[in-house]
Amino acid sequence: MDHNRASRRSFLALATATPLVATVLASCGDSGPGGAGSGAATDWILSGQPKEGIRQTAVDDWNEAHEDQQIQTSAFQNDAYKAKIKTAIGAGQAPTIIFGWGGGTLRSYVEADQVDDLTSWLQENAAVKDRLFDAAFAAGTVDDKIYALPTETVQPIVLFYNKKLFDQVGAQPPTTWDELMALVPTFNAAGIAPISLAGQSRWTNMMWLELLFDRIGGPELFESIYEGQPNWTDPAAIDALTKVQDLVRADGFITGFASVTADSNADQALLYTDRAAMMLQGTWTYGGMKTDGGDFVSAGNLGYMNFPEVAGGKGDPMNAFGNPAQYVSVSSQASQEQKDIALAYFADGLLQEKEAEAYITEGGEVPIVKGIDAKFAGLDDEEWLTFVYDLATNAPSFAQSWDQALSPTQAETLLDNIEKLFGLAITPQEFATAMNAATAS
């Protein structure tokens, strides 16, 4: 197996974790690494409300209580961050605390000796590990050692829909792929885009393939690809690739989707301004729609469901894809003082009660803290939070997003080819041939 591929054990632990093994399972300056000065640790966080504010408040609270262990933050949009962090790590200018999504990217950091092994620290600080969802640790593990601490929230991909628009055309949410395809001409005839898609971001397109591969071929289809087998050309894979292009050709996605970006939340806006009827996205978008969408969420106009089943497919319609958590590592290039600050923050500042409750009440997300479902009762978002919790908990397979599971090089090739596939620039067979070459052992 290609040593650059994230460990099969980690991927399968994600894909097969169940409620039996976890409470619930679950995307530079010149003064030293990450621009740190005067001994402070540095932390690059993702921008976008409400989560940017929650992350920043957690650091601010820490700094207020720890005058001698300060953390300096910088905020970046998602896609810009992914590019900047790779450059910074390659140049030895990474922040002290490296945020990520685990999987293949983390493995690349480990192989370049850019992040510290946290295994012994977690053994010495067992309470830190014991309070978090057990299954969240798989994507932060490389060759049986933990290099990234899971944090924040579990984020499955779900199909959101605008109830008002469905009522307008007299339609029901699709429970099968055929029903979804049948909705396309119905919405188009009413002057409504069937599906919002931020195609410029590419990973948003990938979600459609992930779920179709699962529903048609079962989780074992991508697992075999992940192991290095040339199964992109498997009949089930070709079927999934063909179905995506069928949807594009039927004008299933909003006109101009290739120019719509996820970082700007433009895809969310198309849904809550009644321009599009559906959107396949991660649960992290709920907070943005609640914050920016006026009374769209509070008035009960937002619907949500797991991805539809495909007739004759092998995949269980309860299966899920997404992020089992987010992850933080400690840069091996940081000073010992900076590392000590980061670890102290991991132990006593990160995802404490105030931050966890903010993710629930402000972000509408499920933190990866054991017993967190006890906090849902009586909240405005109780129904949504319970849906996410149950979806993650009950999924027979919850697999990590492909671009996070694969190595960075493989992921970039994947995203490039997905862009071409959705743009109808290549055929399913051409996509499969290119990807077999890119992911072969």
The answer to whether residues 140 and 147 touch, using CB atoms and an 8 Å cutoff, is yes
Q: Say what the pLDDT of residue 39 is.
A: 85
Sign of CA dihedral 217, 223, 224, 228: positive
Q: Say what the pLDDT of residue 441 is.
A: 61
Alpha helices, DSSP H, located in 36-96: 51-65, 78-90
Helix axes 235-249, 408-422, angle to 10 degrees: 50
The answer to whether residues 142 and 107 touch, using CB atoms and an 8 Å cutoff, is yes
Residue 252 sits at the vertex; the CA angle it makes with 280 and 285, to the nearest 5 degrees, is: 20
Q: Say what the pLDDT of residue 8 is.
A: 38
Choose among 2, 8, 45, 1: nearest CA to 405: 8
Q: Amino acid identity of 392?
A: A
Indicate the pTM of the whole model.
0.87
In terms of Cβ atoms closer than 10 Å to its own Cβ (0-12, 13-18, 19+), residue 377 is exposed
CA dist 236 to 78, 213, 217, 353, Å? 32, 7, 5, 45
What is the spatial distance between Cα 231 and Cα 11, in angstroms, rounded to a whole number? 17
For the chain, which ranges sit under pLDDT 70? 1-38, 441
134-161 per-position pLDDT tens digit: 889 999 999 999 999 999 999 999 999 9
Choose among 293, 121, 321, 123: nearest CA to 222: 321
In terms of Cβ atoms closer than 10 Å to its own Cβ (0-12, 13-18, 19+), residue 68 is exposed
Place of tokens 């009440």: 361
Q: Say what the pLDDT of residue 38 is.
A: 54
Q: Say what the pLDDT of residue 440 is.
A: 84
The answer to whether residues 157 and 304 touch, using CB atoms and an 8 Å cutoff, is no
In this structure, how many other beta carbons lie within 10 angstroms of the beta carbon of residue 248?
19
Q: Say what the pLDDT of residue 321 is.
A: 93
What is the spatial distance between Cα 197 and Cα 276, in angstroms, rounded to a whole number? 9
